[in-house]
Structure 1
Amino acid sequence: MTEVQSKSCIIRSEQDLIIENRILNHEEDKVLVQVEAGGICGSDIHYYQHGRAGASVIQEPMIIGHEFVGIVKTAPVGSALKVGQKVAINPSQPCYQCERCRNGQLNHCQSMRFMGSAQHFPHTQGGFTQYVSVNTNQCFPYDASIASEIMAFSEPLSVAIHAVNKAGSLIGKKVLVIGSGTIGGLVIAAAKAAGAQVVLGCDVSERSCKVAIDMGADHSFSPLDHEEVTKYQQDNGYFDVTFEATGVPSAIQTTVDFTKPNGKCIQLGMGNSSIEYPISQFLVKEIEWTGSFRFNTEFAVAVNWLETKRVDPTPLISGVFSLDDAESAIIAAADKSKSTKVILKI
């Protein structure tokens, strides 16, 4: 067993999963999926490096991974899903019973189980394994001609589309995206697809600024470039909507300066520390500051946008590794000077 398997990843056989379906899940609405590919997320890296992601601490062997796609191997009788069909997997498992679920706020489910997460005990196993058992309603079929590496972006693209939806109509708007990693890059593409007139990227990394352009940004700049920063902060702000995708306190503080009066700031970056925020300027400019957490019903839209090539995530792919080389893949993904999104082919 490799170090990464011993820390946070185990591999179960197809037979094991079939038995688990029969004994634990009674097969009413369960699907056995052979995993093809998955993207390594920041939370996966934290679990590997620290044994935790935020307040979620690993207490037992856990399969990480929540951005993955695969092939249906078994499906319930009468299901619309067919054996051999390629599907993207929505890792969210809301209860559909609590008040928030009944109000359509599935991402705020009080009993949410999210695949590849140690939030609950027993942990919710993830997708970096050969076979996985999921609910039928987690499976979204897609055109088999589309590469699995592309469709593995369904989950992070859902996050980006949810953020764009939180901003309201972007048609004709000027948009800034702070942070040009995976989520920031996908927000850039999603904002363009949603009709934004101008989209700019902002990142301290020269490599990430190039990624922003490759993802469709009209221009990108460094927050360390005083001339560029001044240009977009003068006259009380240039942008109608600013998306913050880093969680870095100094970056969050600048959103008010970049945003026009009555504009919107959408916060996606999840930092762990408290921040000093320019509350007086925020108040005077009547800016709307909105959090954006995971996604709600946007997963189907993300699958469609990838399938129809409305969004092309190819520029975000920094490397493709086999499952046997998972530890090297996670180490590579953790090196943000070289990597944006690393894909595991399983």
Structure 2
Amino acid sequence: MASGEQQIITSDASSVNGKTTQLAAVCHGAVDLRVEERPIPAPGPGEAQIQVALTGLCGSDLHYYSNGANGIFKILSPMVLGHEAGGVITALGSDLPSTCTLKVGDRVAMEVGVMCKSCQFCKKGKYNLCTGMRFRSSAKTFPHLDGTLREFMVHPVDLLYKLPDSATQIQAALAEPLAVVLHAFRRANVQAGARVLILGAGAVGLLACSLARASGCTQVIAVDIESAKLDFAKKMDWATGTYTLPKGPRVSGAEAIETAKSGWEGLKADPAVAGVEGLADGFDVVFECTGVESCMQFAVMAALPGSKVLFVGMGTPNLLLPTGPSLLREVDMLGVFRYANCYPEALALLGSGRLGNVDQMVTQKYPLSQAEEAFQDMKRGRDKDGNAVIKPMIYSSDHQ
């Protein structure tokens, strides 16, 4: 876009339709979420102001809400939660990049990790490992960068992606967890014909199932403690088989190892695995999407010799893994931390229809004013009507 065509607002964009304040869902600590009035920010140089449409809630949001921390990252000051979002541009700041084609009114998805662009990792294209990364709604860095659970926000334009006309705001919000999945698939180098195990059937796990099926994986087995999520995966034809783990308390160390062994033995005996020749020997790729210690151990046990385990889930700061057996079997254990250079492909996949009707993953929507109820339902796994919570979203405007 030529500079004369840009719709730029450099002053008083902190007032939108006469409003100067907005609602925001702010986490002050464990089980201390407050919907507060915050000023509406004006865009600075290279930024856009966005009216947030929808934000999807994920496991890290729930960890912050429940514990005031996500693994080793503890909230040190009140922080707006949420990082899976899309919205509509309401104003543009000055000094936009010459490559920027965005305009006021465009619907966009937001890549919410703001990298430094100058460290060795950014220069290598591995900006998810950026030493100066500031990620929205993450307490990894301080001061924290507020998240998307609010009505308006500002964000760098080079981290905004215009949605095609056919895309929904739900898909804009799902681009973030799908980017995580894509990054994991790239690290695993998943090939057509692979036999895949996915531990955890939350949004990331379900999207991993969908992408595995779309990628030509012949066996995709999903495991979770919630049968409703597994039933959904089967209904969507995203899993060729499922297995429900028994619920129990979270354990660690040697006790977790025993829980993992029991889970793996149970899965091997289940028809979903026992009925497929050679599958009880292990899987070509295992995606661990829970961050639960016993499941992380389970993942290593379920890997075929010479295969890969991708640790996608977070939440266990220190854990015991069966590294001895994995080394002897040449099982590669790979960490997955966020994503890099995945958003364009994620949005293209979502828009292509190859993954199926992913919008159906969203089982509940809540207004921003009811954010506390959304987190409580997510924590229980059921809403007030007894329906399973698969992917809850909070809407901040009429653009949902």
TM-score by length of 2: 0.77
2:104 paired residue number: 83
2:290 paired residue number: 246
CA contact (8 A) 1:236 1:259 kept: no
Quick check: 1:343 aligned with 2:387? no
2:84 paired residue number: 67
Q: What SS does the aligned partner of 2:305 have?
A: strand
Quick check: 1:272 aligned with 2:337? no
Match of 1:169 among 190, 213, 219: 190
How much does 1:17 deviate?
A: 1.6
Quick check: 1:111 aligned with 2:132? yes
After TM superposition, the structure 1 stretch with the greater mean CA deviation from structure 2, 91-100 or 73-82, is: 73-82
Aligned-residue RMSD, C-alpha = 2.5
Quick check: 1:229 aligned with 2:268? yes
Deviation string, structure 1 residues 213-253 (Cα, Å, up to 9, x no partner): 24511111124585542364878723111111112222222
Aligned partner letter, 1:59: L
Specify which structure has the higher proportion of helix.
1
Q: What SS does the aligned partner of 2:80 have?
A: coil
Quick check: 1:148 aligned with 2:172? no
Q: What SS does the aligned partner of 1:195 have?
A: coil
CA contact (8 A) 1:173 1:241 kept: yes
1:321 paired residue number: 366
- What percent identity do the matched residue pairs reach? 28
2:232 paired residue number: 211
What is the CA–CA distance in structure 2 between the aligned matches of 1:263 and 1:122, rounded to whole Å? 40
Q: What SS does the aligned partner of 1:104 have?
A: coil
2:330 paired residue number: 286
Aligned partner letter, 2:161: F
Deviation string, structure 1 residues 275-310 (Cα, Å, up to 9, x no partner): 443333212321111111111111221111112222
Match of 2:123 among 94, 102, 105: 102
How much does 1:65 deviate?
A: 0.9
Match of 2:67 among 50, 66, 71: 50
1:159 paired residue number: 180
Q: 1:108 to 1:206 in 2, by over 3 A?
A: same
Aligned length: 337
What is the CA–CA distance in structure 2 between the aligned matches of 1:3 and 1:95, rounded to whole Å? 26
Aligned partner letter, 1:229: K
After TM superposition, the structure 1 stretch with the greater mean CA deviation from structure 2, 122-131 or 308-317, is: 308-317
After TM superposition, the structure 1 stretch with the greater mean CA deviation from structure 2, 163-172 or 45-54, is: 45-54
TM-score by length of 1: 0.89
Q: 1:130 to 1:182 in 2, by over 3 A?
A: same
Q: 1:248 to 1:333 in 2, by over 3 A?
A: same
Q: What SS does the aligned partner of 2:41 have?
A: helix
CA contact (8 A) 2:70 2:315 kept: no
After TM superposition, the structure 1 stretch with the greater mean CA deviation from structure 2, 331-340 or 273-282, is: 273-282
How much does 1:182 deviate?
A: 1.3
Aligned partner letter, 1:147: T
Q: 1:59 to 1:10 in 2, by over 3 A?
A: farther
Q: For structure 1, which runs of at least 5 residues remain unmatched after alignment? A: none
CA contact (8 A) 2:61 2:82 kept: yes
CA contact (8 A) 2:182 2:346 kept: yes
How much does 1:212 deviate?
A: 2.5
What is the CA–CA distance in structure 2 between the aligned matches of 1:325 and 1:220, rounded to whole Å? 33
After TM superposition, the structure 1 stretch with the greater mean CA deviation from structure 2, 315-324 or 90-99, is: 315-324
2:153 paired residue number: 132
Match of 1:220 among 208, 221, 242: 242
